[in-house]
Each structure stands twice: as structure tokens, then as C-alpha cells.
Structure 1
Amino acid sequence: MYKPLKPMYSANFTFVLSTEQRGNNGLAGLAAQLGFDATTGSTENIFSGDNIIEFFKSRSLIGAALMSEVDSVSHQTLLNYIAKNSYAKLYQQLGPFGSNPKTYSKLQLRLYRNIISYVSQSFTVFKKDKKLVFYIISARSTNPNMAYYIAKYMLDETSNYFITTKTKVTATSVELLKKEADSLGKVLQNTYSSSAAMLDRTYNLNPSVTVQRSSSQFNQAKANAFASAYSEVMRNLEVAKMNLQRETPLYRIIDEPELPLIAPVGQTLLSHIIGASVLGFFLMIVIIIGEYFYKVLR
């Protein structure tokens, strides 16, 4: 009995991912004072132009995307979903995959690598126009959910990696400033407490005896110095946060498909035509052979 060919579903996500530097980095000198070199490790050349497209084909990013949960209730990962639907027999033998590939058996690792290759070949990433910053990731599969999940989670994983790597220098500077501000805040608080305690002990002291006030005065001088340093660090922290916001790449999903995906009508019709043609061809051969034997044996 003739079985029609399965339609091929496409899941297309249109997104914008700006690779331009938005504002200059004013943290280089500040980061250098804190012992961090903000002038090295520039990622602008790495992520400029069409280089971002190559990141989608990274095996490590595909592997990370496979660990994404497609079902928050059962906590089923994309890896297990693909293995269960596309490699059913092997999946039944090998069982569900964990979240750490280093713990996989040899057979599991082989299937895991096959799935990475399968995912790599199932989607493409391209620009609508060379002059625009609009990209499209398109995944194709005979399973509509699989096409959708592959496109969605590959886009999520790659964009997160892109943004994290692009802002790593500035984000690290912000974290250093936060720690410095917290540390100075605690020291300043302790210094003020110590100064207050000394003032209480020397309250209403004989004006002719001033030596006992020297410790209190010294603590007050330290408190003033720490207060100035704390104010400067807090000011630099706010500047760092603004720079981080400016340097964070612009990422937005412009258009995305909705489940359930709809198979192209023309493609479905074509598959039926091809299937019917193949079936008709074999029926014609059977009729011709039958007529031949009928004439020979008559």
C-alpha cells in the first residue's frame, strides 16, 4: 500500500543581533587601576560581520542547546526528545541521556555525536540582506516540533553566548567595582563606629588634656579618607554600569513561528504526485509483464 511522503516543516526565526560598538569603553584606565587589563581580548573583530553565523555551527554550542529543556514538567531535554523521535530503537536500548556528556557510555557518546551532526545539518542561518542586521535561522524537519525546538534553542544558546562574551570585559570590571564598593563600605562603617565609641569615651574631657583625643581625631581622618574613596568608587561603578548597558549587543526576535507548524500545501501536493507517479510506474511494469507472460503461455 502506498504511503505518502512525510511533509518537510520549516521553523523560521527572524532576529536582529547588533555587532556594532555602542559607545566607547571608558573603563580601560579604571580597570587597569584595579589590576584588570580592559584593553586586551577585543571581541569586535570576532563578532563583526557574518562571523556570528559561524558560531551557530559550533559543536559546543549545539551540545549546549541539546541540554535545553523542551518540557518544564517532565524536564525532557532536546537531546532526549530528538533521540526518542529520530533514533527510537537506539533510545530504547541506551535509555535517557543525562546532562553531562562526560558520563555517557561509548554507545551513548556515539549517538550523542550523531545527533550533533544531525542538528548541524538541519538548520541554516543567513542574512536577509548584506546591508541589514536582520538574520534568519531556519530549521527543517519532518517533525514540526523538532524543527521549532532546534531553531529556538540554537538561537537562545548562541545569542546568550554572543552577549556574554561580547560584554565579558566590562561585566568583569563592574563586578570588581561592586566588590571594592562593598569592601570599602564595611571598612567605612567600622571606622565610623570606632570613632563614635572613642568620642563617647572622651566626652566632656578637660580641655587641657588633649592627648586622649588624638586617637579619635586620627579615626575621624581615616573615616574622611575612606568616605572620599567610597564616593569615587560608587561614581565609577555607575559609569561602569552605563558602559555595560551601552556595550550590550542589541538582540531582539522580530518574528517567530507558532506551534503547530503548517506544512506547505505545494510541498504536500508534490509529495502525493511523486508517490502516485512511482506507484503508477510500478503498476504499469506489472501490467506489461503480465501481458507478456499471458501471450507466451497462451
Structure 2
Amino acid sequence: MDNTVEKEIRLSDLFRHIKPFLRFFLSRLLLMLLAIALGIGLGLVYYYKQKPRFESVCTFMIEDKQPSMGGLGGIASQFGFDLGGLSGGGSLFSGENIFEILRSKRIVNKVLLSKVDSVQPAGMTLADLYLTFSDEGKKIRKKPQLASVNFNSVASSLTPLQDTVLNIIYNKIVKKSLIVDRVSKRGNLTKVQIDASDRKFAILMSQRIVEEAMSLYVHIKVGNAKMNISRMQVRADSLLMLLNGKYYSAAVAQTLDANPGIASSRVPAELALRDRGVISTLYSEVVKNLEASKMLLSQQTPVIEIIDYPSISTEDNLVSPVVTCFIGVFALSFLAFVTIFVQYLIRYKH
């Protein structure tokens, strides 16, 4: 019974303070309106101060066919050629390897040193462009020894200062800007995403990293096979020249009016004909294996296809002014309300 009375008294006290608090709140309405106006202002300031972050995504897939060498590898090995390059490297881009390759210093640095405009060999590189818009570039330019470093005309090897700056850019991009992942856990599509405050840099970096990795993969996958085919082509050309020479030798060695009693006069012609037959057989085998190797190389060259190129209309991820103003108004209005409520409590106690 006493508890019920106590609760009723407390509830009545609460209702008794509502009207006085509302009157006190209305007397402080100017503070609330000022908080709302200030919140809108701070929201707009934050919107215009924030830097744009563009997300550029390039997706690609690899179809890697494993060749079956069969008897071709054995035949080619008889002539001193190794066609293993056509079947090796199957796991190069499998699993997590592809992620490490796409993030590797070899790939990223080569892309950074590429020209923004490929038709201008003396123009700005992507590394120079990064230094112009990034916070990291501003920090680098503040250091006197690094202020004048650029990559417009890179020689065969980087200078120590250029190498230092490029390593700083590489580490920053790999840690903060570059995202490499599967599009889906069960799929075979891989995406390369670049986040940057410059639209052109984000688009060019994501696309060129994929293209450079594709070029490297194809080179490793079929590079040895192409080299072996080139060597086999040289061998075939040499045998053809030798075979042509033996035809002339056999023709010269033929004696029209030889003395039947002297059998040794026919020996040079017989030897020339024998050599011509042997070389002709070797040439036929080499040419046959050469054509088979070329066909196998064309069939087993991996198919790497870019599915989605970065779009030139890649949108930034700036927080909209409506959201920033709403957050500012909500935060300052809540703070103003708490302030008014505390003022009322202090006044009520007195």
C-alpha cells in the first residue's frame, strides 16, 4: 500500500514539473535555435572540407588450361628442346598467390612509373600525380631533400632519392588505397579496387595494375615455350640452308662421262645423296615438331579477360550535405537540450 502511494506521489511530481519545464524551455528557445543554426553551419563546413574518395574497381578472370604434352614433349626432347613451359606454372595465380602478385612491389611500382598520358613520353607519371593531391605527397614536399624529386624522366635505374619516395608511395598505397579480393567466395572473378581523392589516378591505377599482372602471368606461363619455339625455328632454318647446299653438292658430284672401270668416281655423288636424305629427314621432323609446338602454344595460352573496366563516371563517396547537417543539428540540439535541462534542475533546487 505504501509503495503504491509512493509511486503515485513520484508520478504526480513528474507531471507537476512538465509545465514549468516547458515554460523554462520556451524561455531558452533562442539557445535551441542557435544550436540548430550552428549545427547546420558545422555540417556544411564539414561537407566542404572533406576530401573526395573515389573508388575505382576493375574485375577480371583467368581461364587457365593445363596442356597434355603426351608424345610431343618426348619427341621435342630428342632435339634438345624443353616444352615444359607450356605445362608449368599452373598454380601461379591460384589461391592467395594472385593477391600477393597484384600487391607486389614489381607490379605497383611499374604502374606508378607509367605515364598518365601514354602518348606523352616526357609527361607526368602516376607517381608524380599522386604527389600532387595526396596528404602523403604534401608531407614529402615539406622535406627539403625530397621537395624537388619527380619521376618525369626516369633513367634505367632510380636515384636513391627517387627510390625512397617511390617506396613511401608504394607502402601508403598498399596499406591505405589498394584492395584486392574475390568478387565472391565461390566465384573465379578477382577485383582490384583503388581508393583515392583523385578520379583519374584511381581509374588508371586499378586498370593498369590488372593489365600489368596479366602481362606478367602470360609471360611466365608461355615465355619459356616461346623461347624454345624460337630456338627450334633457328634449327629448322639452319637445316633448310644445309639441305639446299647438299642439293647443289649432289648435282656437282654427278659425273656424266665417268669411266665405268673407276668405281670410286661415283663415291662423292653417293655421299652427297646420302647426306641430303639424312638432312631432309631431320628437317621434316623438326618442322613437324615446330608446327605442333606452335599449335599447342596457341591452344594453351591462358585466357585472361577483364570483365569490368573502371568507369570514367566513378563516383566519390563524400557524405552528403543532408547527412552532415542532420548529424550536426542532432548533436548540437541534444547538447543544448541537456544544457537547458541542467539549468532547470539547478533553478528548481534553489
Could you state the TM-score of these two structures normalised by the residue count of structure 1? 0.79
Over 3 Å counting, the alpha-carbon distance change for 1:187 and 1:130 in structure 2 is: farther
Matched, 1:268 2:326: no
Which secondary structure state, in structure 1, belongs to the residue aligned with residue 170 of structure 2?
Answer: helix
- 1:154 corresponds, among 209, 213, 216, to 209
Offset at residue 15 of structure 1 (A): 1.4
- 2:69 corresponds, among 25, 47, 53, to 25
Per-residue CA deviations over 1:82-140 (Å, capped at 9, x if unaligned) read 234432673751233544574313x3221110111133232222222343322222212
Which secondary structure state, in structure 2, belongs to the residue aligned with residue 94 of structure 1?
Answer: coil
Q: Please identify which structure carries the higher helix content.
A: 2
Which secondary structure state, in structure 2, belongs to the residue aligned with residue 103 of structure 1?
Answer: coil
Identity of aligned residues (%): 24
Per-residue CA deviations over 1:51-91 (Å, capped at 9, x if unaligned) read 22221111122222223333123223333332344326737
- 1:108 corresponds, among 162, 173, 180, to 162
Match of 2:29 in 1: none
What amino acid is the match of 2:234? K
Match of 1:53 in 2: 99
Per-residue CA deviations over 1:182-228 (Å, capped at 9, x if unaligned) read 221221122223323334xx345455555333212211211111111
5 Å matches for 1:1-298?
2=45, 3-21=48-66, 23-26=67-70, 27-38=72-83, 42-75=88-121, 76=123, 77-86=125-134, 87=137, 90=141, 93-96=148-151, 98-100=153-155, 102-105=157-160, 107-121=161-175, 122-199=177-254, 202-205=255-258, 209-259=262-312, 261-264=313-316, 267-270=317-320, 273-274=323-324, 277=327
Offset at residue 230 of structure 1 (A): 0.7
Could you state the TM-score of these two structures normalised by the residue count of structure 2? 0.68
Give me the CA root mean square deviation. 3.4
Unaligned runs of 5+ in 2: 1-43, 340-350
Over 3 Å counting, the alpha-carbon distance change for 1:204 and 1:67 in structure 2 is: farther
How far, CA to CA, are the matches of 2:115 and 2:150 in structure 1? 17
Which secondary structure state, in structure 1, belongs to the residue aligned with residue 61 of structure 2?
Answer: strand
Match of 2:345 in 1: none
How far, CA to CA, are the matches of 2:287 and 2:63 in structure 1? 30
How far, CA to CA, are the matches of 2:111 and 2:260 in structure 1? 74
Contact 2:84 2:225 in 1 (8 A): no
Contact 1:19 1:48 in 2 (8 A): no
Which secondary structure state, in structure 1, belongs to the residue aligned with residue 148 of structure 2?
Answer: helix
Contact 2:206 2:310 in 1 (8 A): no
Which secondary structure state, in structure 2, belongs to the residue aligned with residue 125 of structure 1?
Answer: strand
How far, CA to CA, are the matches of 1:97 and 1:104 in structure 2? 13
Offset at residue 24 of structure 1 (A): 1.1
Unaligned runs of 5+ in 1: 289-298
Over 3 Å counting, the alpha-carbon distance change for 1:119 and 1:179 in structure 2 is: farther
How far, CA to CA, are the matches of 1:242 and 1:219 in structure 2? 34
Over 3 Å counting, the alpha-carbon distance change for 1:150 and 1:218 in structure 2 is: same
How far, CA to CA, are the matches of 1:212 and 1:101 in structure 2? 64
**Number of equivalent positions:** 281
Q: Which has the larger radius of gyration?
A: 2
Over 3 Å counting, the alpha-carbon distance change for 1:279 and 1:195 in structure 2 is: farther
Offset at residue 231 of structure 1 (A): 0.8
Identify which range, 114-123 or 167-176, moves more after superposition: 167-176
How far, CA to CA, are the matches of 2:111 and 2:183 in structure 1? 24
